[in-house]
């Protein structure tokens, strides 16, 4: 399962916020909530966080975040808030749908070669 989020700050800062939420049982945020409810440990930052896209903070970052949440939703592998998913469906444009379809086709092509 994946949680998709954005930050304009260093990963270490965001990781320590997640770590604090986990340590003190704060279920306000989906990442810590998922770990706590499923009794998962919190692993080192290098093994649980990755950069999926780098862009300037602002509208473009919001668009990429929506795309990645949409993609993981299609794969049924995200833990983002369901309200966010509902809002995303209203905000996504057809390009996101096309990118997901093309990505799936490219992966299939690579696996069958």
Place of tokens 């668009």: 63
Residue 69: alpha-carbon gap to chain centroid:
5
For residue 68, give the nearest of 3, 10, 9, 15 by alpha carbon.
3
For residue 81, give the nearest of 39, 34, 16, 37 by alpha carbon.
34
- Residue 108: per-residue pLDDT: 41
Domain total of the chain: 1
Q: Could you tell me if residue 102 is inside a domain?
A: yes
* Low pLDDT (below 50) residues in the chain: 86, 90, 104-113
Domain containing residue 17: 11-111
- Residue 111: per-residue pLDDT: 40
Dihedral in degrees, nearest 10, Cα atoms 11, 102, 73, 68: 20
Q: Could you tell me if residue 89 is inside a domain?
A: yes
Q: Kindly calculate the radius of gyration of the chain based on its CA atoms and give it in whole angstroms.
A: 15
Q: Could you tell me if residue 81 is inside a domain?
A: yes
Q: Could you tell me if residue 3 is inside a domain?
A: no
- Residue 70: per-residue pLDDT: 79
Place of tokens 């990442």: 31
Q: Could you tell me if residue 41 is inside a domain?
A: yes
Q: Could you tell me if residue 19 is inside a domain?
A: yes
CA distance 51 to 6: 9
Q: Could you tell me if residue 20 is inside a domain?
A: yes
Q: Could you tell me if residue 4 is inside a domain?
A: no
CA distance 85 to 44: 28
- Residue 59: per-residue pLDDT: 81
- Residue 20: per-residue pLDDT: 94
- Residue 94: per-residue pLDDT: 63
- Residue 57: per-residue pLDDT: 82
């Amino acid at each position: 399962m994946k949680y998709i989020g954005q930050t304009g700050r260093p990963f270490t800062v965001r990781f320590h916020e997640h770590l604090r939420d986990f340590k003190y049982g704060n279920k306000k945020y989906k990442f810590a909530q998922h770990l706590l409810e499923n009794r998962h440990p919190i692993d080192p930052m290098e093994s649980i966080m990755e950069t999926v896209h780098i862009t300037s903070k602002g509208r473009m970052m919001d668009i990429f975040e929506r795309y990645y949440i949409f993609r993981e939703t299609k794969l049924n592998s995200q833990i983002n808030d369901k309200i966010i998913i509902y809002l995303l469906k209203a905000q996504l444009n057809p390009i996101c749908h096309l990118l997901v379809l093309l990505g799936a086709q490219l992966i299939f092509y690579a696996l069958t070669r």
